[in-house]
Chain A
């Protein structure tokens, strides 16, 4: 069994991972930038709480918080944060008639609050650093930030195992502990003796996808996944099919499904798809995935083939797959060929990801 780390150009990488890849490169080059983070949204807005972009001192950016209509304002906010070396927040409100005529002109009718936090190469930035860690570990992050008054930009963040103070000390943030039990949204808490409005939101990690089979639809599927910023691993025992140049996955693994599962720990994945075009290999994959807790198990191929494969599994495996099995995998969009199949699979995975949120 061989394994290859095969990353494409960072410019191809989208989603939150693409934003952080650019930010990490700036940081390595000793450049400052602002992390612009959506902390509240109401009505129709392009992005939702937890979305972020990064903007460097010369106005370079990666990521978008709107379709373009609000970006000049976001950039202005980010540059203000960099110049003042302090968090800055602003509300972008497109609900009024004045905005349609004089403002963004978007007509979206929504409200979004953005906080811009300076990140400098010569010092740590607790919120930025813990977002990077969470994305790398594939963990969701809960964040509570003060959005008004002298404490704005301060707060706390936590995941299943740890808590991080953002500009506060453990003693200062102790009164914020009840936030852990509250729903996303705005909450009033006491910080440093003052009642302060907090925005509580989640930052979701990218979808983690495991593919069994490097057939013709793997390449367009992985390209789409990379554009969306998903973390991907592809496993196939046919060495000739595992061509890194054509398969922009985070990792390529030359192994049959049972060996791949043993090497990878399927627990780390949100979704896995059996798409080897070989009945025996797909059956091996289904058997291995039945024993895992991967939430979405896809099987490529027609219903009759699915039924034949399921008939070869034991009762316990069939029961274990239960409602997790999506077969035939993909949304019924119509069309044929590798590109259309890849699109239908990506579309269904995106639906699954959105429902999970």
Chain B
């Protein structure tokens, strides 16, 4: 097996694992804000509840996702990697994820480089444009929660994609 195939298999396994057994599932009792997004075409629905501290940093996040394997995996990965970030960091991560799944390598060089941890495993969706909304739906829900808390972070970017 060549290196490329090995990475592809590894990424696929990561996405499958997160999709079948997503992390950070549920409702956050101590939530300071919440957001919801749904895709009327495929029926996916994501609700996020999060706790923002006084500095606008995400302390904790939970998601309730009714969706396909890819949407569940994306919500799970997002929930693991956005904790500790403020708006600027979220915006950069969102831009890099968008670049990754649209097959735009230039976008990956923004700011300080590559996506953290397992988020890069979502790169496989670049070959399937019709599934990109499944990956981005949890981020729309997150954006909704941040708007609710005051001030959009990702809205402009999300609008550009649609």
Q: Which A residues are closer than 8 A to B by beta carbons? A: 72-73, 76, 97-99, 101-105
Contact = CB atoms under 8 A, between A and B. Distances in A.
Contacts of B130: 72-73, 76
Max chain A CB contacts within 10 Å: which of B15, B69, B127, B128?
Answer: B128
Contacts of A104: 128
Most chain A C-beta atoms within 10 Å of own C-beta, residue among B15, B16, B70, B131: B131
B124 A102 contact: yes
B12 A97 contact: yes
A103 to B, nearest CB: 4
A102 B68 contact: no
B45 to A, nearest CB: 16
B158 interface: no
Nearest to B128: A103
Interface size class on chain B is: 10 to 19
Q: Which applies to chain B's interface (DSSP): helix, strand, loop or mixed?
A: helix
A105 B133 CA distance: 14
B131 A102 contact: yes
Nearest 5 pairs of A and B residues by beta carbon: A72-B130, A102-B124, A103-B128, A102-B125, A101-B12
A98 B70 contact: no
B124 A98 contact: yes
A328 B130 CA distance: 49
B131 A98 contact: no
Interface string B1-36: 000000011001001100100000000000000000
21 contacts: A73-B129, A73-B130, A76-B130, A97-B9, A98-B12, A101-B15, A101-B16, A101-B19, A101-B70, A101-B124, A102-B12, A102-B15, A102-B124, A102-B125, A102-B128, A102-B131, A103-B127, A103-B128, A103-B131, A105-B68, A105-B69
